[in-house]
A and B are shown apart, each in its own frame.
Chain A
Amino acid sequence: MSELDWIARAGAKAKGKRPAFFDDPAADRMLSMLTALIGEVSVMRQRLDTVERLLDSGAPVTRAAIEAYTPDTAAAQERGELIRDYIARVMRGVQQEVEAMAAPEPAIEEVSAALRDM
Chain B
Amino acid sequence: MSDIAPPYAAVARHAVFPEPKHDDAARFDFLANFNKYLSGTLGPGNARAYETRVRPAFARAHGRDPVDRFEIRRAMNADPFHRLWSGLKRNSMEMRQHNGRAMVLRQLDNLDARAAALNDGKDTLRLDPGVEVPRYQRAVDIHCMPGSYHGEERPGDVSAGANYDCGLFATTAGGLGALSDGGGQALVDWVRRERPGWQPRRILDLGATVGHNVVPLALVFPDAEVVAIDTAAPVLRYGHARAQALGATNLQFVQMNAESMAFPDGHFDWVQTTMYLHELSGTALPRVIAEGVRVLASGGLMLHLEQPQYSDAMPLYEQFIRDWDAFNNNEPFWSAMHGLDLKQLMRDAGLPDVFVTGVRAVVDTSIFPDQSQGEEDHGRAAVWNAYGAWKP
Instruction: List A residues at the B interface (Cβ < 8 Å).
Output: 1-2, 4, 6-7, 9-16, 18-19, 21-22, 28, 31-32, 35-36, 38-39, 42-43, 46-47, 50, 66-67, 69-71, 73, 76-77, 79-81, 83-84, 87-88, 91, 94-95, 97-98, 101-102, 104
Roughly how many angstroms separate A77 CA and B23 CA in the complex, as a whole number? 17
B21 / chain A contacts, CB cutoff of 8 Å: 67
Say which residue of A4, A15, A69, A77 sits within 8 Å of B153 (CB atoms). Answer: A4
B4 / chain A contacts, CB cutoff of 8 Å: 77, 80-81, 83-84
5 additional A-B residue pairs with CB within 8 Å, beyond A6-B102, A87-B34: A14-B144, A80-B33, A83-B29, A84-B3, A98-B44
Q: Is the CB of A14 within 8 A of B146?
A: yes
A selection of 29 A-B contacts at a CB cut-off of 8 Å is: A4-B154, A6-B102, A6-B106, A10-B105, A12-B101, A13-B146, A14-B97, A14-B140, A14-B141, A15-B148, A16-B332, A18-B90, A19-B328, A21-B83, A32-B91, A35-B91, A36-B95, A39-B30, A42-B27, A43-B30, A46-B29, A76-B7, A83-B4, A83-B29, A87-B37, A88-B37, A101-B48, A101-B49, A101-B52
B98 within 8 A of A: yes
Q: Which of B324-356 contact A (CB under 8 A)?
A: 327-328, 330, 332
Min CB–CB distance B323 → chain A (angstroms): 13
B109 within 8 A of A: yes
Say which residue of B48, B98, B367 sits within 8 Å of A11 (CB atoms). Answer: B98
A76 / chain B contacts, CB cutoff of 8 Å: 6-7, 9-10
B191 / chain A contacts, CB cutoff of 8 Å: none
Roughly how many angstroms separate A28 CA and B52 CA in the complex, as a whole number? 26
**Interface hub of A22, A35, A88, A102 (most chain B Cβ within 10 A):** A35
- Contact (A43, B42) CB under 8 Å given A9-B153, A10-B98, A15-B141: no
Say which residue of A2, A69, A83, A95 sits within 8 Å of B41 (CB atoms). Answer: A95
B84 / chain A contacts, CB cutoff of 8 Å: 21, 31, 94
A81 / chain B contacts, CB cutoff of 8 Å: 4
Instruction: Mark contacts of B7-46 with chain A using CB atoms, 8 A cut-off: 1 yes-contact digit, 0 otherwise.
Output: 1011000000000011100110111011001000110110
B92 within 8 A of A: yes
B147 within 8 A of A: yes
- Contact (A36, B91) CB under 8 Å given A21-B83, A87-B37: yes
Say which residue of B10, B30, B86, B327 sits within 8 Å of A83 (CB atoms). Answer: B30
B105 / chain A contacts, CB cutoff of 8 Å: 4, 6, 9-10
Q: Is the CB of B52 within 8 A of A19?
A: no
Minimal Cβ-Cβ distance residue in A for B78: A23
Q: Which of B120-172 contact A (CB under 8 A)?
A: 139-141, 144-148, 153-154
A47 / chain B contacts, CB cutoff of 8 Å: 22-23, 26
Roughly how many angstroms separate A4 CA and B102 CA in the complex, as a whole number? 11
Say which residue of A18, A84, A97 sits within 8 Å of B33 (CB atoms). Answer: A84
- 9 tightest CB-CB pairs across the interface, nearest first? A16-B140, A80-B4, A98-B45, A6-B105, A10-B102, A21-B87, A14-B141, A76-B7, A35-B91
**Interface hub of B3, B9, B144 (most chain A Cβ within 10 A):** B9
Q: Is the CB of B42 within 8 A of A94?
A: yes
Roughly how many angstroms separate A35 CA and B30 CA in the complex, as a whole number? 11
Min CB–CB distance B2 → chain A (angstroms): 11
Q: Is the CB of A31 within 8 A of B153?
A: no
B86 / chain A contacts, CB cutoff of 8 Å: 19, 21
Instruction: Mark contacts of B303-340 with chain A using CB atoms, 8 A cut-off: 1 yes-contact digit, 0 otherwise.
Output: 00000000000000000000000011010100000000
